[in-house]
Amino acid sequence: MTPTEEPSRAPVIWRLSSLVKIEHTLFALPFAYVGALLVRRSAGALPSWLEMLWITLAMVSARSLAMGINRLVDREIDARNPRTAGRELPSGRLSSSQVAVFCLASLALLVLAAFRLAPAVHYLWPIPVLAFVVYPYLKRVTWLCHLWLGATIGLAPLGAWLALGGPIATAPFALWVAVACWIASFDLFYSLFDLEIDRAQGLHSFAARFGIAGVFRGARLLHLITVIALALAGYSGHAGSLWGLGVVAVAALLTYEHLIVSPRDLRRLNAAFFTVNGVIAVVFLGFVLADALV
C-alpha cells in the first residue's frame, strides 16, 4: 500500500479536517477570544459560555470555508508543487464536489452563528467571505497577497468584539492591525518553503519578489507593528498590567523566533512557523484571561 492510498480509507470527515488543517485554527481563535474578553472588560463580566460557543463556531466555520475555497482554487497549482502534490485534492483523496459541499456547509454554519450574535454581524458576515474568495487569486498577480491574508484573518478579534455588541473604538481596530501584521509576518516565512517553485511557476510571493533577506526584513517590521498595536489595544481598552505582561511575552517569543532562524540558517523554519506562533496565541490569551479575572 502506498502512502497516498492509506489516507483514502479514512472517513471523509477526517480527510476534510486534514484538507483545511483544522489544528491551525489555534493561530487565530485565541485572538477572537481576546477580542471577546476585552469588550466585556468594561462591563466587569466575562462573556457567557453561549456567546463563546457561537464565536468559536463562527471562527471554525469561517476558517474552514476560507481553506476550502483556497484548496479548490489552488488545486492545479498544488498538483505541480512537490510539497503540496500530496494534498487531498491533487492526490484524489477528495473530489472537488466533496470540498464544494463542505464549503457550503461551512458557510451555512458561519451564517447561523452570525445570527446568534449581535445584530451588527448579521450584516457584516459577507465581508470576510468575499475576502476568502479573493485571496487565492492574489498570489497570481501581487506579492501583497500576504498582507491581504493577514488583514482577513486579523478580522477575528474585531469580529468577536462586534459580535458581542462592542462599539466602534480604537481597541478592536488595534487588535485587528496586530493580528493582521502577525499573520502576514509568518506567512512571509511560509512563502520561503515554495520560493523556487513560485518563481518557476510565475507566482507572486514576498519571497519570490524580495528574496530571503527581504522576507526577514519584512517580518521584523511586521512584528514590531504587532507588538505596538497589541500595547495600544490594551491601553485604549483599559486593560490591566497582565495585558502588558502578555505583550512583553509576545515580544520575547517573536524575538526568539528570529534567534532560531536567519537568512543564513533556515533549518528551524518549521519550528518558527508552527510551534512558536502557536505558543504566542495561547500564551497571550492566557495573560488576557488572567487580566480579565483579576
pLDDT average, residue stretch 122-151: 95
H helix and E strand count, the chain = 16, 0
Q: What 8-state DSSP symbol labels residue 30?
A: H
Q: What are 60's three cell numbers?
A: 471554525
Specify which of 1-5, 188-192, 223-227 reaches the highest per-range mean pLDDT: 223-227
In whole angstroms, give the CA distance from residue 65 to residue 81. 23
- Least confident range from 25-34, 38-47, 134-143: namely 38-47
Give the distance from CA 98 to its chain's centroid.
24
Q: What 8-state DSSP symbol labels residue 276?
A: I
Is the pLDDT at 108 greater than 70? The verdict is yes
pTM assigned to the model: 0.90
> Are 228 and 247 spatial neighbours (Cβ–Cβ below 8 Å)?
no
> Are 214 and 163 spatial neighbours (Cβ–Cβ below 8 Å)?
no
Q: 193 pLDDT band (50/70/90 cuts)?
A: confident
More confident residue, 202 or 45: 202
Q: 6 pLDDT band (50/70/90 cuts)?
A: very low
Q: Is 262 helix (H, G, I), strand (E, B) or coil?
A: strand
Going 266 to 192 to 88 to 99, the CA torsion angle's sign is: positive
Burial class (CB in 10 A: 0-12, 13-18, 19+), 217: middle
Q: Quick one: pLDDT at residue 273? A: 67
Is the pLDDT at 109 greater than 50? The verdict is yes
Q: What 8-state DSSP symbol labels residue 212?
A: H
pLDDT average, residue stretch 98-116: 96
Q: Quick one: pLDDT at residue 195? A: 87
Nearest to residue 22, comparing CAs of 122, 138, 102, 91? 102
Share of the chain above pLDDT 70, in %: 95
Is the pLDDT at 263 greater than 90? The verdict is no
In whole angstroms, give the CA distance from residue 192 to residue 176. 25
pLDDT average, residue stretch 3-27: 73
Is the pLDDT at 238 greater than 80? The verdict is yes
Q: Quick one: pLDDT at residue 113? A: 97
Q: 264 pLDDT band (50/70/90 cuts)?
A: confident
Query: What are the structural domains of the chain?
Result: 7-293 (1.10.357.140)
Q: What 8-state DSSP symbol labels residue 25?
A: G
Q: How many CB atoms lie within 10 A of CB 165?
A: 15
Q: Quick one: pLDDT at residue 20? A: 83
Query: What is the average pLDDT value for the chain, to the nearest integer?
Result: 90
Q: Quick one: pLDDT at residue 8? A: 56
Is the pLDDT at 129 greater than 80? The verdict is yes
Q: Quick one: pLDDT at residue 4? A: 42
